Homo-oligomer: A and B are copies of this chain.
Amino acid sequence: MISFAERMGGIKASDIRQLLAVASKPEIISFAGGLPAPELFPVADIKAAYDAVLDEAGPVALQYGATDGWAPLRKQISERMLKKNNVTIDPAKIILTAGSQQGLDFIGKLFLNPGDVVVLESPSYLGAINAFRQYQPNFVEVPTDENGMIMEELDRILATTENVKFIYIIPDFQNPSGRTWPLERRKQFMEIINKYEIPAIEDNPYGDLRFKGEFLPALKSMDPKELIMYFGTFSKILSPGMRLGWIAASETIIGKVNLIAQAAVLQTATINAMAISKYLDMFDIDAHVAKILPVYKHRCELMINTMRETFPEECKFTDPDGGLFTWCELPEYINTREIAPAALEKKVAFVPGDGFYPSGSVKNCMRLNYSNATDERLVEGVHRLADVIKGAMKA
């Protein structure tokens, strides 16, 4: 008789993945995904990198490799973290993952017994919530304001909550809210987690995508006790289809993650790690990112301005300094999950906000992505969405 594990009761389909399937139809204007603009992928340069790898070291690229991942790439990541994030990290404390999502699964597996507590921002990335849910934790949500996590609330929660295994945060251009923590909050956060000695995942897929405002240091750059597990990825600055991210953390944690990776996947794809390493040797990735930024800045501003013009006054939305998302809060009586079908009928898609709250208790928000649409479709999509929202407003 076939019977599945108890954990499957908590594993739900990702709204985003389900929506992507529908929203990939060309007639739908989709603000649902978190897809980079594909027309900006450096296709010719990446092809040159694959060609060079296969010409120079084909049999190595196609063979099994080490679980921690292609060593020259880990060294390049270490150098880049120093240059971009002011983080000093030994390459031995870096392990490659098949995208950050895999890192979330590994860290959930490493830390969580059923009933253990994960503390996270309210709202937080639904893909992380789903990854952790596989290990049956309880979630405790920390209230946020326009500057991210409210540190007094975090302190209070850590002082009064048992079995907190780790904290999950996205301090830069958060998914879904688009918000960024100011320096003072970062310092406070590090003080608090040092006081309680609680480790934290600093998930930073969007940090390089700052198109206005000033650089802010990574939490990992203020972490002498090595409590931070820093997650980086090439998905948003180079290509998500190559599935390559990394975790930078203490030797102990990386050693344990290595054991999990051995058991769960053996290793990331040798050829992709070598191709990215070669790309970084042959080309200037920062010059490539510099081409992305003005496009995302423009699209963000166009979306925000069009929302200002068309959305009812009662709607509030964030005005991000970088990243891929804005977050829109509608009047409390509007359940965005309930208006999503009407939006799809008008051929526009968004992600309902409740999935970003483990409790599912906040119903009146939506996440909107601006990186993956042309100007024309962006404006048209916002107009359609405005109509849907107006249709749901009380007179």
Judge if A263 is at the interface, Cβ distance under 8 Å: yes
Residue of B nearest to A252 (CB): B2
Chain B residues lying within 8 Å of A102, measured Cβ to Cβ, are 264-265
A 37-67 binary contact with B (CB < 8 Å = 1; else 0): 0110101001100110011001111111111
**CB proximity of A314 to chain B, nearest CB, Å:** 34
CA distance A1 to B166 in the complex (A): 9
Which 4 A-B pairs have CB atoms at the shortest separation, nearest pair first? Answer: A43-B58, A241-B270, A38-B59, A62-B239
Q: Which of A10-18, A203-211, A353-361, A379-387 contacts B (4 or more CB under 8 A)?
A: A10-18
CA distance A99 to B266 in the complex (A): 9
A 222-235 binary contact with B (CB < 8 Å = 1; else 0): 00000100000000
- Between A14, A17, A199, the greatest number of chain B beta carbons within 10 A of the residue's beta carbon is seen for A17
Judge if A120 is at the interface, Cβ distance under 8 Å: no
Judge if A333 is at the interface, Cβ distance under 8 Å: no
Residue of B nearest to A164 (CB): B1
Judge if A313 is at the interface, Cβ distance under 8 Å: no
Judge if A242 is at the interface, Cβ distance under 8 Å: yes
List CB contacts (< 8 Å) of A1-47 with chain B.
1-8, 11-14, 17, 20-21, 33, 35-36, 38-39, 41, 43, 46-47
Chain B residues lying within 8 Å of A265, measured Cβ to Cβ, are 98-99, 101-102, 105, 243
Instruction: Please tell me if the beta carbons of B5 and A110 are within 8 angstroms of each other in the complex.
Output: yes
Can you report 6 residue pairs joining A to B where beta carbons are below 8 Å apart? A5-B109, A5-B116, A7-B109, A7-B113, A98-B269, A242-B269
Instruction: Please tell me if the beta carbons of B67 and A17 are within 8 angstroms of each other in the complex.
Output: yes
Q: Which of A84-92, A131-139, A336-344 contacts B (4 or more CB under 8 A)?
A: A131-139
Whether A59 touches B35, Cβ cut-off 8 Å, given contacts A67-B17, A111-B4, A266-B17, is no
Instruction: Please tell me if the beta carbons of B43 and A59 are within 8 angstroms of each other in the complex.
Output: yes
CA distance A112 to B7 in the complex (A): 9
Judge if A260 is at the interface, Cβ distance under 8 Å: yes
CA distance A225 to B134 in the complex (A): 28
Residue of B nearest to A227 (CB): B2
List CB contacts (< 8 Å) of A152-207 with chain B.
165, 197-199
A 72-112 binary contact with B (CB < 8 Å = 1; else 0): 00000000000000000000000000110110010001111
CA distance A197 to B2 in the complex (A): 7
Judge if A267 is at the interface, Cβ distance under 8 Å: yes
Instruction: Please tell me if the beta carbons of B109 and A134 are within 8 angstroms of each other in the complex.
Output: yes
Whether A2 touches B199, Cβ cut-off 8 Å, given contacts A102-B265, A262-B14, is yes
Chain B residues lying within 8 Å of A20, measured Cβ to Cβ, are 64, 66
Residue of B nearest to A40 (CB): B59
Instruction: Please tell me if the beta carbons of A50 and B54 are within 8 angstroms of each other in the complex.
Output: yes
Instruction: Please tell me if the beta carbons of A135 and B5 are within 8 angstroms of each other in the complex.
Output: yes
**CB proximity of A152 to chain B, nearest CB, Å:** 22
Judge if A272 is at the interface, Cβ distance under 8 Å: yes
Judge if A259 is at the interface, Cβ distance under 8 Å: yes
